[in-house]
Amino acid sequence: MIKKQRVQSVDFLRGLTIMLMILVNTPGDWSYVYKPLLHAEWNGLTLADFVFPFFLFIVGISISFVYKYKKADRTMYKKIFIRSLKLIALGLFINVFLPYFPFVETESVRLPGVLQRIGIIFCIASILYLNCNRKQLIFIAVTILVGYWIWLTYIPLPNGASPILERGSNNWANYLDYVLLKDHIWKPDYDPEGILSTLPAIVTTITGIFVGEILTSTAKRKLILLAIMGGSFMIIGYLWSIFFPINKVLWSSSFVLVTSGYATLFLVLFHYFMDYKKYDFGNLVKYVGANAIIIYFSSMIFAKSFYLIKINSQTSVHQFLFETFFVYPSIDKLLSSFFYALVVVGFYTLLAYFLYKKKIFIKV
């Protein structure tokens, strides 16, 4: 059962993030996508680049809600480890899934992934929260961000080469992924969920923990405090980007602060109207947030199936649906591709509505 007292704005932000993720991941044709819905080619920030950090930010808020008054013991650690392993297993399943079994060859299966990173970071951030006070968490976050910056920009690689912040073998993040994971990465020159970039991603979740602590506190003018925090994250992040560019693939320190800043300010806006003013709106979005993981998992499995299942030797289910129902000579193909993604978002929103009304809440 869902808790009686919920922070509506958090559910809304979570649902909005998942809906944006589906919109970004399922265009009708990848050759026709509006630029804001594509990830930045390297440095920079687009609408698509907000999805994953926002979700990790919300994971941090949830950690603060769930474990605020919990005691760290063997039972608690066991629950954390089991949940983390479930998330990792689901992520690996997505990577190896085919509409027809057996699985793909194991030597080429990608090991990193979105759910794998969420599982790892949830485990680490939860343990840190259960064992560290606020000052210690701040120290850990700052140390990671500064240390990561120094590591990627100043420490020479084992081959003696100077580090670079571009794609290539002399990029520390790619170097470690290639050495440790070999062919089990997204592309030969980078993996957006690689090993080293997981470190600063932990800080994204820690910023969510800080925000969750304030949301559940009795502090007066908490929204003003959160607005100042969000604004400070953004200012420091943009200033830092002069030296350490905003980059999602590297999950640069400036990327952590800027995206956490935006997430905090959006949450302040939603919290003001939904939890403070008690305006009741966006229920469909909140329904998606109530079953976020299963909606994400389902969307990935169905999307992959539609691409891989062939109606004939030339046409996949995805291509057939798009070209049959969305492509018309009188409509720009960019718009057609976007409409296809909107319909997919609508389908999963209705699925979330059905699950919510049936009181089905699938937790990992």
| 168 backbone dihedrals φ, ψ, rounded to 5° | 140, 170
- Decide: 25 and 299 in contact? Cβ < 8 Å: yes
- One pLDDT digit (tens) per residue for the chain, 364 residues: 334 467 899 999 999 999 999 999 999 999 999 999 999 999 999 999 999 999 999 999 999 999 987 778 889 999 999 999 999 999 999 988 754 444 445 567 888 999 999 999 999 999 999 999 999 999 999 999 999 999 999 999 998 889 999 987 789 999 999 889 888 888 877 889 999 999 999 999 999 999 999 998 877 789 999 999 999 999 999 999 999 999 999 999 999 999 999 999 999 999 999 988 888 888 899 999 989 999 999 999 999 889 888 888 889 999 999 999 999 988 999 999 999 999 999 999 999 999 999 888 888 7
Amino acid in position 247: N
Task: Tell me what pLDDT residue 216 has.
Answer: 87
- Decide: 252 and 201 in contact? Cβ < 8 Å: no
Measured CA to CA in angstroms, residue 22 lies from 17, 28, 340 at distances of: 9, 12, 11
* 84/88 Cα distance (integer angstroms): 6
Domain spans of the chain?
Answer: 1-38+279-364, 55-277
Q: How crowded is residue 183: how many other Cβ atoms within 10 Å of its Cβ?
A: 11
* 323/336 Cα distance (integer angstroms): 9
Task: Tell me what pLDDT residue 110 has.
Answer: 85
Distance, C-alpha 49 to centroid of its chain = 9
**3-class secondary-structure state, position 43:** strand
**3-class secondary-structure state, position 190:** strand
Look up residue 273 and give its DSSP letter. I
Helix, strand, coil shares of the chain as percentages rounded to 5? 65, 0, 35
Look up residue 163 and give its DSSP letter. P
| 310 backbone dihedrals φ, ψ, rounded to 5° | -105, 135
pTM: 0.93
Task: Tell me what pLDDT residue 95 has.
Answer: 87
Q: Which of 1, 5, 3 is nearest to 216 (CA)?
A: 5
Instruction: Note if the bond before 163 is cis, omega within 30 degrees.
Output: no
**Widest CA span in the chain:** 64
Spell out the alpha helix ranges (H) of 185-221. Answer: 198-215
* 348/48 Cα distance (integer angstroms): 18
Amino acid in position 157: L
* 80/115 Cα distance (integer angstroms): 15
Kindly report the three-state secondary structure assignment for every residue of 74-142: HHHHHHHHHHHHHHHHHHHHHHHCCCCCCCCCHHHCCCCCHHHHHHHHHHHHHHHHHHCCHHHHHHHHH
Task: Tell me what pLDDT residue 3 has.
Answer: 42
For the CA atoms of 260, 261, 262, 268, the dihedral, rounded to the nearest 10 degrees, stands at 110
